[in-house]
Amino acid sequence: MPVGAPLSEVLRAAAPVWVRVHTGQALDRALELQRHESAASNPLRSAVRDVCHGAMRHRALIDALLQRLAARAPEPEIGGLLAVALSQLLDDAYGEHVLVDQAVQAARNQPQMRAAAGFVNAVLRSFLRRREQLLPELLLDDATRLNVPPWWLQRVRHDHPDRWEGVLASAAAEPPLVLRVNCRRGDINGYLALLREQSIAATRVGPSAVRLQRPLPVARIPGFAQGLVSVQDAAAQLAAPWLQPSDADRVLDACAAPGGKTGHLAELSDANIDAVEVDPVRARLVAENLLRLGLEQSRVRVLVADAGDPAAYWDGHPYDRILLDAPCTASGIVRRHPDIPWLRRETDVAQLATNQARLLDAVWPLLAPAGRLLYVVCSVFRQEAHEQADSFLERHPDARAVALPGAPGRWCQLLPTAGADAGHAACLPSDLPTDHDGFFFALLEKKVPSC
């Protein structure tokens, strides 16, 4: 815990974040609201974020524990305080009695919770007495052990019968911080030397990818503000090079926000790029990212429009390359956003797949003959991945699949992993790390009409 962040204050501030996420709000948004609503110091904000992320990695178990430990359902605020306190006990972050004392103090410090201080004390002490019996019993349930809703577990097990447990277990791991070096502003060896000068341990994990041994806040990453690097997972860094844009190309980056892949495309060539994003606020993020990277604004247009409505942005000239990083369940990046399985509903998968098909069908006519489209989702669900790409080929006889380097089939599915024992995807370059995020890639080429 950072110096200057009293534990009772951390628990007090984290409790309403848990409540908001538990009622359907995204964790990042809940943390943002908490920052705006309090005058918390930087150490306190950082500690609250860590506690909330840790609690979400135990959500299923915490919910099950509260059902067993509390004789009655607590008020939301009390339940939130108990949840974040239990998460710290599960992680053995503090001495047991210190943690209980500070949780009780957090309740006493709030007028609306003061009367429940004894209840908080009783529930936490009950957990300490019964944990050796309760935890093995509750963790017999796979969904509780792997921290996902039952429907999520069933879908991953169905889609990946040989690797489902490793995929789900990877979400419990702390994600690495991987940077992409901006080749317009330097090279990877020069950036590694800069890190060494500042005593920051790092490893090269790809042609332009650097993994920091210990994650840093963005503000403390050397050269980030000056556009030397971007934060981007090693697997996500495969997209732009696989599309292979050339200087003479016209490129469409559909669904461009927050702009990581847009920037990578612009770094790799002098192609003219249309970056289309439907959300005006997120479109500004794309423009700000390009500005930070020092990329030529005259050849990259950021357009606020629905990529599925070409009439709103297309000038009638075909694109040579299209990148469609489509909205999806984000089931491949749960380790970065542990609230994702709990925010999604089972019906969301089909709805998102329908929208992905709409976007694919809308942008395909904009592609020139012999042009290529790369379809990308950060998902492990086959309905958004293999089934989506296969269905597209059935609908479009003028499309053909292009094998990606080293891929065992015509598509490339990278499952999220956490360590070398999880296996290494065949379509990954040999120097990429084994603990990458989960992505699916399908490269499609438009056939040239025969005379």
The predicted-structure confidence for 58-107, as pLDDT tens digits, reads as follows 999 999 999 999 988 899 999 999 999 999 999 988 899 999 999 999 99
Same fold, 177-231 and 236-446: no
C-alpha–C-alpha distance, residues 114 and 151, integer Å? 38
CB 442 within 8 Å of CB 413:
no
In the predicted model, is pLDDT for residue 228 greater than 50?
yes
Residue of 103 and 298 predicted with greater confidence: 103
Q: What percent of the chain has pLDDT over 90?
A: 85
What superfamily in CATH does domain 177-231 come from?
Answer: Sun protein; domain 3 (3.30.70.1170)
What superfamily in CATH does domain 7-140 come from?
Answer: NusB-like (1.10.940.10)
Residue of 33 and 4 predicted with greater confidence: 33
Q: What is the pLDDT of residues 308-355, one digit of tens each?
A: 999 999 999 999 999 999 999 999 999 999 999 999 999 999 999 999
* 3-state class percentages of the chain: helix first, strand second, coil last, to nearest 5: 50, 15, 35
pTM above 0.85, yes or no: yes
* Closest to 375 measured CA to CA, from 366, 384, 429: 384
In the predicted model, is pLDDT for residue 384 greater than 80?
yes
Residue from 52, 255, 328, 378 carrying the catalytic annotation? 378
Q: What percent of the chain has pLDDT over 70?
A: 94
C-alpha–C-alpha distance, residues 224 and 181, integer Å? 10
Half-sphere exposure of 429 (CA within 13 A, CB side): 16
C-alpha–C-alpha distance, residues 84 and 31, integer Å? 14
In the chain, what are the domain boundaries?
7-140, 177-231, 236-446
User: 120: which 2 tokens?
Assistant: 């908080």
The verdict on whether 255 is a catalytic residue reads no
Identity of the residue numbered 196: R
CB 338 within 8 Å of CB 57:
yes
pLDDT computed for residue 284 by the predictor:
96
- Count CB-CB contacts under 10 A for residue 232: 20
In the predicted model, is pLDDT for residue 420 greater than 80?
no
In degrees, to the nearest 5, what angle opens at C-alpha 60 toward C-alphas 56 and 64?
Answer: 130
Three-state SS for 402? strand
Average predicted confidence (pLDDT) for the chain: 93
In the predicted model, is pLDDT for residue 422 greater than 60?
no
C-alpha–C-alpha distance, residues 33 and 162, integer Å? 41
Identity of the residue numbered 435: D
Instruction: Give me the residues paired with residue 301 across strands.
Output: 274
CB 240 within 8 Å of CB 443:
no
Q: State the first-to-last Cα distance of the chain, in angstroms, to the nearest integer.
A: 70
- Fold of the domain spanning 236-446: Rossmann fold (3.40.50)
pLDDT computed for residue 250 by the predictor:
98
CB 305 within 8 Å of CB 355:
no
User: 202: which 2 tokens?
Assistant: 């790092």
CB 82 within 8 Å of CB 58:
no
Give the pLDDT band of residue 43 (cuts 50, 70, 90).
confident
Give the pLDDT band of residue 35 (cuts 50, 70, 90).
confident
User: 283: which 2 tokens?
Assistant: 């479109």
